[in-house]
Structure 1
Amino acid sequence: MKRVILIGAQGKMGKAALSGLRKHEVITASRSGDGCDFHVDITNKESIKALYQKVGPFDAVVNTVGFCEYAQFEKMTEEQWDTTIQSKLLGQINVVKVGLDFIKDSGSFTLISGILNVKPIPFAIADATTSGAIDTFVKCVAHELPRNIRINVVNPTVLEEAWDVYGEMMPGFQPVPGALVGKAFERSVDGFISGQVLFVDA
């Protein structure tokens, strides 16, 4: 059994991840903290550090959050870009950077991206751009992590459980069950792979 920190545990993607982590001791965290063990804001390094300090020794971190703004490219404001970059991109990078001082040897990080960087849709340029950047970050930084620490990213299509929210903006997409996405998180945490983008698509 591993001690796994799950960030974003109350969201639909967090619940999908949890379905693949049930054999472990899962410590939950979210921005609001509601229904979770701890509060964390991944856009704030001190908040991330405080989470790790409170949890104590851990084997893995699974992050399932990254807020994105949606708008047409020509109408995207600097503030909208900044919000997306600070959360989906730099927030996740800092989950790893800060976590290196706390995670056990041979531990693992699992981040989240999304299928829109390879299957673009209207209004999602910020999501697609930062998802692509996270995929690249994981593939490259895996070569630089110390102490046999691993890192992967789950790149899922839309969840069946979220189709009522996103289905209208994703015509022609086939949603997948959260349990299938949970298997990708399980593979990342329990396997030996590193630097991999784990696509979950129909």
Structure 2
Amino acid sequence: MSIDNQKTVILIGAKGNMGQAALSGLRKHKVITASRSGEGCDYKVDITSEESLRKLYEDVGHFDAVVNTVGYCEYAEFTEMTEEQWNNTIQSKMIGQINIVRVGQEYIADNGSFSLITGILNIKPIPYAIADATTSGAIDTFVKCVAFEMPRGIRINSINPTVLEEAWDVYGEMMPGFHPVPGFLVGKAFERSVDGFITGQVLVVDAY
């Protein structure tokens, strides 16, 4: 890729395992990092706050793509899940990501792209993860449908990965029968979303 084709990409959640996986597929570009804490990143942002997102977009100025790898989820048995736990997950994993696009479409360059994060649990459910599965399914559906309404040639896709090898020590016990994938494969899905021409697609990254 020539320097003339280099894009400016905002990567939200850059310091986490998923953020590092995404970063591996964005190395050709100028990547501007952001996270909720702001620690070790260029900017601080709370995706559940429209004001925070607007400040991020205005402070960055010109950008061609937004890649999000964050979405907080509560885990509990469905019969034990409280309204607060549901709301915490919905506000971050679902509304927060919709906010990224709803607000961001006002600022992103023509023919830009949004890449959101979901997860395999809406396809392969496990115990305690009903909120994660529900909000992942909602974002996958949002992406498929809102692609028809995006202005100015803007594209949107979601990346739906299984558990990462880099996070298997944390989540593996919860996911018997699953096989993790290396982060670089998830990075390739983000690369395809940012550098390709597809839109309204759910890019599933699974071992089988």
Q: TM-score, normalised by structure 2?
A: 0.97
Q: CA deviation at 1:77?
A: 0.2
Q: TM-score, normalised by structure 1?
A: 1.00
Provide the aligned length of Structure 1 versus Structure 2: 202
Q: CA deviation at 1:71?
A: 0.1
**CA–CA distance in structure 2, aligned partners of residues 9 and 159 of structure 1:** 15
SS in 1 for 2:112: strand
SS in 1 for 2:124: coil
In the other structure, the counterpart of 2:11 is 6
Say whether residues 1:176 and 2:176 are aligned partners.
Answer: no
Q: Which runs of 5+ in 2 are unaligned?
A: 1-5
**CA–CA distance in structure 1, aligned partners of residues 80 and 25 of structure 2:** 39
Q: Which runs of 4+ in 1 moved over 3 A?
A: none
CA RMSD of aligned residues (A): 0.3
In the other structure, the counterpart of 1:154 is 159
* Amino acid paired to 1:108: S
1:121-132 map, 5 Å: 121-132=126-137
Say whether residues 1:24 and 2:38 are aligned partners.
Answer: no
Q: CA deviation at 1:124?
A: 0.1
The Cα offsets for residues 132-153 of structure 1, whole Å up to 9 and x where unpaired, read as: 0000000000000000000000
The Cα offsets for residues 118-137 of structure 1, whole Å up to 9 and x where unpaired, read as: 10000000000000000000
SS in 2 for 1:111: strand
SS in 1 for 2:115: strand
Q: 2:80 aligns with which of 66, 75, 84?
A: 75
In the other structure, the counterpart of 1:109 is 114
In the other structure, the counterpart of 2:50 is 45
**CA–CA distance in structure 2, aligned partners of residues 43 and 100 of structure 1:** 16
Sequence identity (%): 78
**CA–CA distance in structure 1, aligned partners of residues 184 and 124 of structure 2:** 22
In the other structure, the counterpart of 2:89 is 84
* Amino acid paired to 2:149: E
